[in-house]
Structure 1
Amino acid sequence: MKPSASRSKSSARCPRCGNSFDCGMHAQPLECWCRAMPSLPADRLDPARRCLCPECLAAEIARATYAGSGADLS
C-alpha cells in the first residue's frame, strides 16, 4: 500500500500494529505526546526503529515496568 499524499508530516504508522498516529518527533520545537509518558529503559530502545503509537508505547512501558518489578504477566 502506498502512503497517502494527504498525510501530514506529523502523521506516522506504528511498526507494531500498523495504526496511523500523529508524531511530533520532527516538530519544532519538539512537542510530542510521548514526552509526557514514562521513559523506556535504555535496553528497550532501538534507535533504528520507528516510533510506536500511543497504545503500543503504553503497552511496551507496562511490559518494561512489570519486567523490572519481577511480576509475572501470565
Structure 2
Amino acid sequence: MKPSASPSEGSARCPRCGNAFDCGRHSEPFECWCREMPALSADRLEPAGRCLCPECLVAEIARTAKGNQLP
C-alpha cells in the first residue's frame, strides 16, 4: 500500500516517517491492511502509540524477527 498524497477519512500519519497512509483502525467492522501482517509482541508496541505506515510496520516486523533468531 502506498502512502496517500491527500488526506482522506481513513488517513493517518506515520509517527516514524511522517508519511500519510490509509488506516482502518476505527472502522466497524475492523478492516485494515495491517490485519494481514504478522502481529508484533506487546513489548514492541508503544501503549499510546499511533499506527505505523505499511513500510515502517514491515521494517519493525523484520527487526523483531531478526532479533528472535537463534545464533
TM range (shorter): 0.7 to 0.9
Cα offset, 1:70, TM superposition: 4.3
Matches within 5 A, 1:41-60: 41-60=41-60
> Matched residues in 1 for 2:28 and 2:38: separation?
21
What do the CA deviations read for 1:25-68 (whole angstroms, capped 9, x no partner)? 01111001001000001110112110000000000000000001
TM-score (norm 2): 0.85
Matches within 5 A, 1:1-74: 7-70=7-70
> Matched residues in 2 for 1:41 and 1:21: separation?
23
Cα offset, 1:9, TM superposition: 2.3
What stretches of structure 2 of length at least 5 have no aligned partner?
A: 1-5
Query: Residue 51 of structure 1: SS of its match in structure 2?
Result: coil
Q: Contact 2:7–2:20 (CA<8 Å) still a contact in 1?
A: no
* Aligned residues: CA RMSD: 1.4
> Matched residues in 2 for 1:47 and 1:8: separation?
25
